[in-house]
Amino acid sequence: MDIKSVISKLGGDMDRLRDDYLKVSGTLARFGLSEYEARAYIALVALGSSSASYVAEVGQIPRTSAYKIMESLEAKGFARSKEGRPRSFAPVDPSEIEQRLVSDLKEAFGKIRSVKDIMSEKGVPQLVYTIMGRDRVLEKIGEMVDKSETSFVISSPSFADIRKRLGKRFASASSRGVKVTVITSPFIKVPRAFTAVRRKALIATDVISDGKM
């Protein structure tokens, strides 16, 4: 029995159910599941509890990858395993996952709003960089620190590493009267001469130089 058989057993409009299945798979992918993981979770919900091999058959995923996929689902909080011969898996209830995802999204956007409020207090940024890649980030940050005249705001979960490379340039900016504000994770050391703002769940390095009040 494959996923088409499962859909047919549900009855109703086959085309609509197939479209719903594809939409759900796409939505799960946006929440961090691979295509195979999304298929496996949907199959597991349909089955209730099953072995990895049977989930692979229903979800049309490679049998050779079945256990790896199911273990990944478990690690991501979408499935629970039960020891036995064979080992079986059960889906985490969709409503439980929904509550968790909604909670995570609310927290994430709450943090974004907090950063936005802090940045607004510092003025409208002239330059905002979000650059992927350690060397490019450090190069650009160094340039902006050197050119800053009144204020410099950096938001980063990796400020400790940035400070190791650019500490002297930050100190030089501070000594010439630039107000330096650092938004970083809790427990990361920030020089006393700088304004420190603690935030959890930072995922990128953002920089604002000489914002206008």
CATH number at residue 35: 1.10.10.10
Same domain, 56 and 138: no
Q: Which of 92, 112, 134 is the last residue of a domain?
A: 92
Q: What is the mean pLDDT of the chain?
A: 80
By C-alpha distance, which of 18, 17, 41, 43 is closest to 28?
41
In tens, the pLDDT along 59-74 reads 888 888 899 999 999 9
Q: Among 76-85, 109-118, 121-130, 169-178, which stretch is predicted with the lowest mean pLDDT?
A: 121-130
Which of left, alpha, beta for 41 (phi over 0: left; psi -120 to 50: alpha)? alpha
In tens, the pLDDT along 155-209 reads 888 888 888 889 999 999 999 999 999 998 888 888 888 998 988 877 777 888 8
Q: Which of 52, 75, 92 is the last residue of a domain?
A: 92
Same domain, 10 and 84: yes
Pairwise CA distance, residues 96 & 98, whole Å: 5
Query: What pLDDT is stored for residue 4 in this prediction?
Result: 56
Query: What pLDDT is stored for residue 92 in this prediction?
Result: 92
**Token pair 């950096």 is at which residue?**
154
CATH number of the domain where residue 108 is located: 3.30.870
Q: Are 77 and 97 in contact (CB under 8 A)?
A: yes
Same domain, 170 and 104: yes
Q: What is the mean pLDDT of residues 87-99?
A: 90
Pairwise CA distance, residues 140 & 199, whole Å: 23
Same domain, 33 and 55: yes
Reported as half-sphere exposure (CB side, CA atoms, 13 A), residue 176 has a value of 13
Domain that holds residue 164: 100-209
Same domain, 7 and 59: yes
Residue 96 identity: E
Q: pLDDT higher for 150 or 8?
A: 150
Q: Which of 92, 111, 140 is the last residue of a domain?
A: 92
